[in-house]
Structure 1
Amino acid sequence: MLTTEPNPVYRPNPERYQNMPYPRCGRSGVRLSALSLGLWQNFGGVDSLSNARAMVQRAFDLGITHFDLANNYGPPYGSAETTFGQIMKQDLAPYRDELIISSKAGYDMWPGPYGIGGSRKYLIASCDQSLKRTGLEYFDIFYSHCMDPDTPLEETMGALDTIVRSGRALYAGISNYSPEKTREAVAILKSLGTPLLIHQPRYNMLDRWIEDGLTDVLKHEGVGSIVFSPLSQGMLTDKYLNGIPEGSRASRSEQIYFSEDDISAENLSKVQALNEVAQARGQSLAQLALAWVLNNDAVTSAIIGASRPEQIENSVAALDNLEFSDDELTTIEGILGA
């Protein structure tokens, strides 16, 4: 008679907090791991559950305590939350109070007029669905994933206030908001008694839009930030050092992650020059890119993605060399400004 071995009990690394920095998130009492694991890709229903489980375990073993989700991460939509819920139940449930788990709503999720945007109906219904998929009692952070120009900002922020006051989440966040709308969101939430904890914008060496006003707003208002796409969807890795390889994301005619500006000859030239700086520092290009975004004093944490545990290890190794000399920063500015 065949028998199956039970899944081994996961026991996290007892030294997991020794080497990971935990910067304070704005003026709050929350400290985030300097690197956070994003579940946008490779955690969907079409992906390997055992690999997803191995990546989450390795991240936690290395001191990553923040796991970033959204309602429509997959594919299919919602499946990344379901995957994380399974991992949570199997491995991380005893350590729930050591974790920051976030989710978001704003982009399209289900058909019809109530499955997208910033309405109270959509945000609260979506949060409830996300809690059910993950099996959690609450999220640590729940975000408005994007600004909805057709919904009054008071309604969207009011929904976040309700989500926090009802116990569905502990803190409110926003993502992809302009400096002006961020300032307005801060003021509305402050008036409601639910401070804005965090903003999640895109930021990397090739996309520095947050430096044109947003970082000033965040620092003035005491709001933390967690940046996504710090490696510019792989552009700031060794993958593109010799041009655009066949079969890569950037080579696909149907690609949606790269614009023509992203994969321009000018950007590829910058990537090659930045790699020389990285080599001189004893880092990979990806490690340099992570260290650089974390050097911005408005940035609390950077979200990394991964398709296997070794990539997480490589990203965490960036934390071994976060300091930049003035000469290095001048050289990098010269490359990026070229």
Structure 2
Amino acid sequence: MKINDQEPLKTFVAKENRYDQMPFRRCGKSGLLLPEISLGLWHNFGHNADFNNARSILRQAFDFGITHFDLANNYGPPYGSAEETFGRILEKDFKNYRDELIISTKAGWDMWPGPYGNFGSKKYLIASLDQSLKRMGLEYVDIFYHHRPDPNTPLEETMGALDHIVRQGKALYVGISQYSPEDTLKASKILKDLGTPCLIHQPRYNMLNRWVENGLLDVIEEEGIGSIAFSPLGQGILTDKYLNGIPEDSRIAKDGRYLKKEVISEELLNKVKSLNQIASNRNQSLAQMAIAWLLKDPRITTVLIGVSKPSQLEDNVKSVNNTIFSKEEIDAIEDILK
């Protein structure tokens, strides 16, 4: 299916005050600052998406001070199409702003047939990034990630490939995603010895999925690695979307690959409703509080959000206006999440 171009949008000129409202945080012990909110292109940028809507989302994000756009080789559908869409939008709207952007991509999941299109071999990672750069029309990305651990490829080979990619000039920084605390420590030490420190770790982290608190956050702090939390809203559970049932236009109703209806139990809904009440008392939406709850920890550099329309961005960006929680609020939240 071809992307729907619809009516052409006017020439994009970014707002002059775009950096006034977005706080930035240092990424670990690097020289790089990242906005507290980053935009992920996992959904709504494939060939089945509305092209003008995708352009409007990216324009709105940049006008809000979001400088970091996060992709991966297999985002779509089909695989590669989100990078193609982003490349078209970059050429149309952001060519003159390239040096104000942090563009990342990843490789590690299934991408093409055969033994060389998956996991973490040097062969796969370098070939995948070359393809990603062509799709986006870039000479380099700012951050290149290994997208998931590979239980069979030696860590030295995978980290060596990341180091090689930086030395080739195809990425400025490298990161890892979903690595355990133990493997994160090993990877960090290998990369330090190679002379290409691990910039950032991208774990799944939200109020309902807190595995990173069992050692990972301590490791990244000790190693001077930044972090970018993805799925901060638990695939939409930590919003007001499902408080009164499952809307027909929601992702769970249309695409059950990532969130299944049976996950939203009565017990979970009761927790979400209680969290929503705390958010209301803080003059925040539940989504805003869920993002702010992550940002209360200084070890979280940035929170990675995904939206289906520009208006959702404004709600999420307002999260940065109130990231302070009282002890009473923290205790109440912990009681709910037990």
Structure 1 runs (4+) deviating above 3 angstroms are: 243-252, 259-262
SS at match of 1:238: coil
Cα 1:79–1:210 change in 2 (3 A) is same
Alignment partners' CA distance in 2, 1:88 and 1:148: 32
**TM-score normalised by the chain length of structure 2:** 0.95
SS at match of 2:34: coil
Out of 184, 209, 233, the position equivalent to 1:231 is: 233
Partner of 1:11: 13
Could you tell me how far 1:138 is from its partner in structure 2? 0.4
- Is residue 203–residue 230 contact of structure 1 (8 Å, CA) maintained in 2? yes
Paired letter, 2:61: A
SS at match of 1:225: strand
Do structure 1's residue 64 and structure 2's residue 66 form an aligned pair? Answer: yes
Alignment partners' CA distance in 1, 2:194 and 2:172: 15
Out of 113, 123, 126, the position equivalent to 1:124 is: 126
Please give the residue correspondences for 1:247-262 in structure 2 after superposition, counting only pairs within 5 Å.
248-251=250-253, 255-258=256-259, 262=263
Alignment partners' CA distance in 2, 1:186 and 1:262: 35
Partner of 2:88: 86
Deviates more, 1:148-157 or 1:313-322: 313-322
Partner of 1:203: 205
- Is residue 250–residue 263 contact of structure 1 (8 Å, CA) maintained in 2? no
Please give the residue correspondences for 1:291-310 in structure 2 after superposition, counting only pairs within 5 Å.
291-310=292-311
Alignment partners' CA distance in 2, 1:33 and 1:228: 14
* RMSD over aligned Cα atoms: 1.6
Out of 220, 223, 226, the position equivalent to 1:221 is: 223
Partner of 2:282: 281
Deviates more, 1:87-96 or 1:241-250: 241-250
Cα 1:261–1:183 change in 2 (3 A) is farther
Do structure 1's residue 191 and structure 2's residue 164 form an aligned pair? Answer: no
SS at match of 1:115: coil
Gaps of 5+ in 2: 1-6
Paired letter, 2:167: R
Alignment partners' CA distance in 2, 1:147 and 1:135: 28
* Identity rate, percent: 62
Alignment partners' CA distance in 1, 2:23 and 2:8: 35
Render the CA deviation track for 1:311-337: whole Å, top value 9, x for unaligned. 011100111211111111111111111
Could you tell me how far 1:244 is from its partner in structure 2? 3.6
- Is residue 173–residue 197 contact of structure 1 (8 Å, CA) maintained in 2? yes
Gaps of 5+ in 1: none
Partner of 2:267: 266
- Is residue 142–residue 173 contact of structure 2 (8 Å, CA) maintained in 1? yes
The size of the alignment, in residue pairs, is: 333
Cα 1:261–1:158 change in 2 (3 A) is farther
Partner of 2:76: 74
- Is residue 9–residue 52 contact of structure 2 (8 Å, CA) maintained in 1? no
Could you tell me how far 1:7 is from its partner in structure 2? 4.9
Could you tell me how far 1:173 is from its partner in structure 2? 0.4
Do structure 1's residue 101 and structure 2's residue 103 form an aligned pair? Answer: yes
Do structure 1's residue 319 and structure 2's residue 320 form an aligned pair? Answer: yes
Paired letter, 2:327: D
Partner of 1:49: 51
Please give the residue correspondences for 1:145-164 in structure 2 after superposition, counting only pairs within 5 Å.
145-164=147-166
Could you tell me how far 1:256 is from its partner in structure 2? 2.3
Paired letter, 2:139: E
Alignment partners' CA distance in 1, 2:161 and 2:168: 10
Alignment partners' CA distance in 2, 1:6 and 1:296: 42
- Is residue 243–residue 268 contact of structure 1 (8 Å, CA) maintained in 2? no
**TM-score normalised by the chain length of structure 1:** 0.95
Alignment partners' CA distance in 2, 1:235 and 1:16: 30
Could you tell me how far 1:216 is from its partner in structure 2? 0.4
Could you tell me how far 1:150 is from its partner in structure 2? 1.1
